[in-house]
Structure 1
Amino acid sequence: MSDTAVPPQGAYVPAVVHGGFAWTAGMTPRRHGELVISGVVGRNLDVAAAKEAAGLAAGNAVTALVEAVGLAGIVRALTMTVYVVAVDGFTAHSAVADGASAVLRERLGERGTVARTAVGVKSLPSGAPVEVALVAAVVTN
Structure 2
Amino acid sequence: MNESEQTGLATMRDCWITGGATFDLAPTDWKTIAGDASPDEQERRLLAIAAQALDVALRPAAPKMLKRRPPLPRLALPMLPERLRPLLRAALKHAVDARRKTRVVTLVASRGFVLHPMDWMPSDQNSPDVYAPWIDWHASFDGERHAPLEKL
TM-score in same-fold range (> 0.5): no
Q: Which has the larger radius of gyration?
A: 2
Structure (1 or 2) with the greater helix fraction: 2
The TM-score range, normalised by the shorter chain, is under 0.3
Larger relative CO (CA 8 A, sep 6+): 1 or 2? 1
TM-score by length of 2: 0.20
